[in-house]
Amino acid sequence: MVNSNPIGTPKDRLEALKESYLSRLESNLNHLELLAGRLLEKAQSDEYLEELHSTLHSISGSAGSFGFNQVGQQARRFEQATAKILNQANAPDEPLPAREWIAQLRASLESDKKQKASASIESSSTSKADGNTCIWLIERDAILAEFTAQQLKSFGFEVHHITDLQELNNPSKPAPDLLLIDHRANQTLSAKPEHLGSWKTLLKDFTCPKYFFGAEDTFDARLQALRNDGKGYFVKPLNMISLTRHISELFQVESSEPGRVMILETNSRLSQTLQTALEQADMLVYSLSEPQQLFESLNEFNPELILLDLWLTEVNGQELTALLSQVERWAHLPIIYIANESNSSLKNQALLMGGGIFLEQPIDTELLARLCKSQVHKLRQLEASRSKDALTGLLKHASIKEAIQSHWNYVQRQPQTFSLVMLDIDHFKQVNDTYGHPVGDLVISAVGTLLRQHFRSTDKLGRYGGEEFTLLLVDCEADDAFKMVDNLREAFEAIKFSSGDTYFSCTLSAGVLDNKQFSDASADALIEHADKALYQAKQSGRNRVCLACA
């Protein structure tokens, strides 16, 4: 761990933004005092109530992002209470306790200032590498937008802040890969009246994913985001760990391997038709006509979906479904049943046996391809939730070991070079002891995000335990793996983490090998050899990558 407080770095920009926000927050509280006095004089003034509501809303949506969590939470409660009064037809029996609210907000502000639990990250380099995800951030609060942009840039994203709706049509800006939108920004950004309208209309020319965010964690806010073509909705203050992992996984999924579909059909003509349609949709297909070969073929092909004829010669589809349910590995495999006639009894039986979809001939091949992709996507999401670490989004210990063993088995049949990497965050216990576990979690999460950005979607990346990580790099020799891991090491060292007013950086060490170096070693033995190389890196002074010696 290296303490660092450089001059002229993005850290200084973040500090300046925090100071600017604190100054504005103090000004907002003074303005609330003024409004409270006017409300005592004129309790039924909707104008003052609306201004009070607007100011509280601004505070609730931004305070948490700068570490003033108690202020943000209280402002949100007071905002909701004000909204309730505004929506009442009759005047309230008791005057609004605005001055008591402000006293509580000021007390919370002093408490928040003393807290050192807030954590953030930044990079010492803001240069954009080719291929980085480009995000357009549409945020009405300029200070909050700049602060959010700095956080996103630290994870390697290119960020452009939109301050005027007319900038949406600016051809000089690089095309966005993703839009991140304050859902209320179209109400306050400097735009001509004709530019105001629903986000769906304003963003109709953008085909990239759109994500909305706001202070409200409500059904209506999420529904409006959905109706404006939003793929998701995040609540302020934005959780950067969750947000950046979500964005990284979004683009990783789009470049993932094709779905694997097994067809069990005795009609060779129909089987060939279905196979051709699915292969044209970029899916991998394995056709089988003999049910007796089912389990052998399953183990060989490892499908993510089965197209199953309900009426086979020697066994029917319901019986095969029952057999699959008896084997843990295949018990939850999605099945699409195919029948040559409409039969409600058969359909009901298939559904009761666990099948999700029932198709009758003639088959709409375009619909079939879409259904197959949808089913594979759902299965992968389910498997990811079971096999991935919640903090980093990487494979859990058991899953990465299983992936290594599976690939080792594969290369015994189909010779191929692959590399294994064991890496570890240096002096991580000191980070936890000094700054606390929330900051430690941020450091671990940063490694997870950087790993996904530096390696291919075909590589297997896992959190081996605690602050240790394991990588399986397919079709990759040790020298190439060394270079990639060393680039990762340099990128991680360049990140500046903060806790309260303290800034620090972390380093990592790694051990690298490929299977050619240890041709007789088992999968477990390869992991041990990589771990020994990691130990060598630690003993040699840390913050380095070592190649294993055969």
Q: What is the greatest pairwise CA distance in the chain?
A: 88
C-beta of residue 394 within 8 angstroms of C-beta of residue 462: yes
Cα separation, 524 vs 378, in Å, equals 31
Give the residue ranges of DSSP H helices in 255-306: 268-280, 294-301
What is the DSSP code (8-state) at residue 180? E
Distance (Å) of CA 215 to CA 59, 61, 72, 487: 9, 5, 9, 38
C-beta of residue 409 within 8 angstroms of C-beta of residue 89: no
What is the DSSP code (8-state) at residue 194? G
Task: State yes or no: is 279 an active-site residue.
Answer: no
Residue 7 tokens read as 């001059």
Of the listed 51, 139, 265, 467, which one is catalytic?
467
C-beta of residue 503 within 8 angstroms of C-beta of residue 496: yes
CB count in 10 Å sphere of residue 204: 10
Residue 445 tokens read as 């999460």
C-beta of residue 453 within 8 angstroms of C-beta of residue 541: no
Nearest by Cα to 182 from 111, 104, 235, 118: 235
C-beta of residue 186 within 8 angstroms of C-beta of residue 197: yes
CB count in 10 Å sphere of residue 58: 21
Residues whose CB falls within 8 Å of the CB of residue 51, separated by 6 or more in sequence, listed in order:
35
Q: What angle do CA 208, 212, 213 make, to 5 degrees?
A: 150
CB count in 10 Å sphere of residue 544: 16
Residue 105 tokens read as 């907000």
User: Catalytic positions, please?
Assistant: 467
